Amino acid sequence: MITIGIDPHKDTHTAAAVDGTTGQMLDELTVAGDRQGHEQLLSWAREISGEEGELCFALEDCRHVNGRLERFLLAAGELVLRVGTRMTARERSAARTYGKSDSIDALAVARAALREPDLPRATHDPKLRELKLLVDHREDLVGERTAISSRLRWHLHDLDSGIEPFARTLNRADTRRGLVQRLGCYGKTVQVRICRELIARIGELTRAIDALRAEIAALVRPMAPGLLALPGVGELIAARLLVEVGGPGRFTSDAALARHAGCAPIEVSSGRHRRHRLSRMGNRKLNAALHQIVLTQARVHPPAQAYLARKRAEGKSNEEAFRCLKRQLVRVVLRAMQPQATPVPSLPAPDARQHQ
């Protein structure tokens, strides 16, 4: 097999062809980052591998700059792997050739893919891509609304602390209407005008956010009935799980998904000392979605409450018990994402002990 490591950039893509058995570099190529360059890259790679040779494309995982190339290769029926940027940096620092360039990075990507046999495969599902765009756009709008709300509150506090609304109520239409009416008592100053404009913008963003939520919910319901059946999983959480996991066939085991999500503990043993520590790596958005489910289940779901109580009785701290519950939840989520998934319990059997 020939592995093609690719270092993508906005204008160019640099590729290094590496023998899958020896790791020896065979050739390298730099092409433009457009459709013509993608076709040139694919023709070059197929010429190196020959008619019956196998190809594997390893792309450094910078999806804002390699998305079009990734989709092009998948549409051509090629195997595409995603290599994390940290993995590329470690491979580059361990190489005998010092420095950093596009060629060095492309070679590091290819050799990292050879060293790590269980890298996640890239997939392209048009529905999941649309869902991801909607979910990310909604989160951007929520962040924009939060920033505007913060600025508005400072203006209101400066005018009169008595008219500042309660926390997290500016997304309500009646709160905004009442606030506009009370601002009429403070004259037509520049600050009052700014407050009115900020209130109007918050209203626009809230309506857009609500519309996006309804659109996301309509897409998610037929795609993830198994996820929505789990306690603590609503449409927005299910959408985040779907777009970050990338489909049910991407991960071959719950252990691989747990490592991707940063839910698998990292072993830090030495000699006679055997222990594990919290992983702070992985997909943090996926980790955050799982954490929200855990918090909800710990509050309202009896099996989760019993599981946490059992872990505390074993001597684990509250944080450690929550980590164990999150790790068990990964297994349940992966099973629920399978096509035509049968109803699954919110927790595995009590004797499950993997990665605890």
Tokens of 21: 């058995």
Rg (CA), the chain: 25
Given this structure, which CATH class describes domain 2-115?
Answer: alpha beta
Rounded (5°) CA angle 282-285-291: 95
CA distances from 202 to 23, 194, 207, 283 (A): 56, 12, 9, 30
**CA neighbor of 223 nearest in space, from 72, 338, 141:** 338
- The residue extents of the domains of the chain are 2-115, 126-223, 225-336
3-state secondary structure of 20: coil
Q: Edge to edge, what strands does the sheet with 55-60 contain?
A: 25-32, 12-19, 2-8, 55-60, 80-83
Long-range contact set of residues 218-223: C-beta below 8 Å, sequence gap at least 24: 219/127, 219/130, 219/131, 219/134, 220/131, 223/127, 223/131
Q: What is the pLDDT along the chain (356 residues), one digit of tens a residue?
A: 899 999 999 899 999 999 888 888 899 999 999 999 999 999 999 999 887 778 999 998 876 788 889 999 999 999 998 888 777 887 777 776 677 888 888 888 888 888 887 777 788 888 998 999 999 999 999 999 999 999 999 999 998 878 888 888 999 999 999 999 999 888 889 999 999 999 999 999 999 999 999 999 999 999 989 999 999 999 999 999 999 888 777 777 888 888 888 888 777 777 777 776 777 778 889 999 999 999 999 999 999 999 999 999 998 888 889 989 999 999 999 999 887 644 444 554 444 444 43
What is the identity of the amino acid at 17? A
